[in-house]
Amino acid sequence: MTIRPIRELGDPVLRTPADPVRAFDRELAALVRDLEETVDHPGRAGLAAPQIGVGARAFSYNIDGVIGHVVNPRLVEVSEETQDGDEGCLSVPGIWAPTVRAMHAVVEGFDVHGEPVRVAGSGLMARCLQHEVDHLDGKVFLDRLTGDARKAAFRALNSR
Ligand SMILES: [Zn+2]
C-alpha cells in the first residue's frame, strides 16, 4: 500500500496545468495505483495527480463505495441544471464552502491500459468529476466561489 502525502494550497504543483499522459506504461500504472490507494480512505471522494505532486492528467474517485480512475479526462458534458452544496478539498483542509457545479457531468478519457472510458454522474459524482478536472487545469474549488461564500472561505483560510 502506498498512501501518498497530499500537497496543500501554496504548493505550486496545484497551480500548474498538468501534462497529458503520453505513455500507458509501468510508471502510469504505479501512479494510478497510488491515486486509487490514496483516495481509498473515509471522507475522500476524489484525488488528482497534482495533489500527490505529479503533474500528469489523471485522477481517482471514491464515490458510493466505487473506486476508479480516469487518465487524460475531458469534461464532455455538463448540465445546465446546477447544484450548490458544500464542497471541500484534501489540499485545502478544513475549508468547506457552497460551490455551484453542474448537477450532471460526463467525463471521457482512458483507463490505465489506454482503453477509452466514459464516466457519467449526478450530484456528488458530478461534483467530483468537475472538481478533479479543475485540478488538472491548475484550479481549486476556491476559484469557483463567488460573493459571500468566497469572502467567508478566504476569511477562514487567512485565519488559519
Ligand atoms: Zn481537490
Ligand 1 centroid–CA 82 distance in Å is 19
> What does pLDDT average to over the chain?
96
Q: HSE, CB side, 13 Å, CA atoms: give it for residue 12.
A: 0
Domain map of the chain by residue range? 12-158
Is it the case that residue 1 has pLDDT exceeding 80? no
Mean pLDDT, range 103-132, rounded to an integer: 98
Q: What is the pLDDT of residues 19-67, one digit of tens each?
A: 999 999 999 999 999 999 999 999 899 999 999 999 999 999 999 999 9
Ligand 1 centroid–CA 70 distance in Å is 15
Which listed CATH number (3.40.1170.10, 3.40.50.300, 3.40.190.10, 3.90.45.10) goes with 12-158? 3.90.45.10
Q: Is 132 annotated in the active site?
A: yes
What is the separation, in whole angstroms, between the first and last Cα of the chain? 32
- Which residue in the block uniquely carries the three cell numbers 475522500? 44
Residue 160: predicted pLDDT: 78
Ligand 1 centroid–CA 52 distance in Å is 11
Ligand 1 centroid–CA 93 distance in Å is 10
Is residue 80 helix, strand or coil?
coil
